[in-house]
Amino acid sequence: MKRRRFLQALSTAPAVPALVQQAGAQQAPATVPAPAAPGRGGRGGATGQVPHIPVGTPDDSADTVAKFFTTGQFATLKKLAGILVPPVKGNVGALDTDAPEFLDFLIGASPAETQTLYRNGLDGLNASARRKFAKAFSEIDAKQADEILKPLLVQVPWVYDLPKDPMKHFVYQVHSDLRTATRNSPEANKAAANTGRRGGGGAGLFWNPIDPV
């Protein structure tokens, strides 16, 4: 968290010790309370209101370290991100939100089947670019990318009936994932809040773990 935000937050936090003192003044104890037993200090033993310290998320302050894809695969993913989910009409684009870095993390944590789909898909696009244009996919221009990508686009009316062709499947999946990673990013959320437009992932009711074992 930025130092300025932290200090702002502290300045608005309730002055708990003062409140405790007031309460004590109104209900003066007949006897001096016994000191707290050893180990009962700190928050665990607090009897009054405890200050709320605002905390941020890692994305507020730091960058994701991409480490799953190879350098070539990641360059292809970044190129795809810029083409498939560009900034349109004031909405943030995938590259503005570090969506490729997030997907590097997400796919790295995913089942092997998903990892294979992505790795083979990225390698396949790169091979296609080299075959057609003698360049890496990350180096081709938008028109050349269209030439490779458009034949791989399909409608998917039923999300559990994905294209049998692995490259078409991959392009559908990476497009969908980039859109979600972008829409659910802090940057999209902030842009939506600033402009009042739809586009951010918004908020929802999150269920905490309930009495976990």
Partner 1 sequence: MPKKEYDVLIVGSGHSGGMAANILTKKGISCLMLNAGPEADYQRDRTTKAAHELPYRGFNKPGRLPHVYQANEFNANQWVDEKENPYTHDPAKPYNWVRVRLLGGRSLFWARQSFRLSDLEFKAAEIDGGGDSWPISLDDLAPFYSRVEEIFHVTGRKEGWPQFPDGNFIEQNYPPDSRTIQKVTELCKTRGIGVSKMRSSQGEGGLASSINLLLPAAVDTGKLEVVSNAIVREITVDKKTGKANGAFFIDRHSKREMHVGAKVVILAAGTLESTRLLLNSGIANSSGVLGHYLHDQIYGVSVVASVPEARDGKAKPGMMGGSAFIPRFRNLSKAKKSSFIKGYCAIIGSGGSASPNHFAAYGEELQAKLDSYQGSCVSGSIYGERTVKFENHVRVNKEVKDAWGIPVLHIDVKDTPNEFAMAKDAADTFEELFKDAGWEILSKTDKFYPPGYSIHEVGTARMGNNPKTSVLNKWCQSHDIKNLFVVDGSSFVTCGWQNPTMTILALSMRASEYLAEELRKGNV
In angstroms, what is the minimal distance from the CB of 31 to partner 1?
Answer: 35
The one-letter code for the residue type at 74 is F
Residues near partner 1, by CB under 8 A: 57, 59, 83-86, 88-89, 91, 102, 106, 109-111, 114, 149-150, 153-161, 172, 175-177, 179-181, 183-186, 188-189, 200-211, 213
112-133 and 166-183 are packed helices; what angle lies between their axes, rounded to 10 degrees?
110
Nearer to partner 1, 23 or 146 (CB): 146
CB 1 within 8 A of CB 54: yes
In angstroms, what is the minimal distance from the CB of 204 to partner 1?
Answer: 4
In angstroms, what is the minimal distance from the CB of 33 to partner 1?
Answer: 29
Nearer to partner 1, 75 or 81 (CB): 81
Concatenate the DSSP letters of all residues of 106-135 into one string.
Answer: HHHTS-HHHHHHHHHHHHHHHHHHHHHHSS
Nearer to partner 1, 5 or 15 (CB): 5
For residue 176, how far is the Cα from the chain centroid?
Answer: 15
Nearer to partner 1, 89 or 164 (CB): 89
* CA–CA separation, 180 and 37 (whole Å): 52
* CA–CA separation, 162 and 165 (whole Å): 9
In angstroms, what is the minimal distance from the CB of 194 to partner 1?
Answer: 14
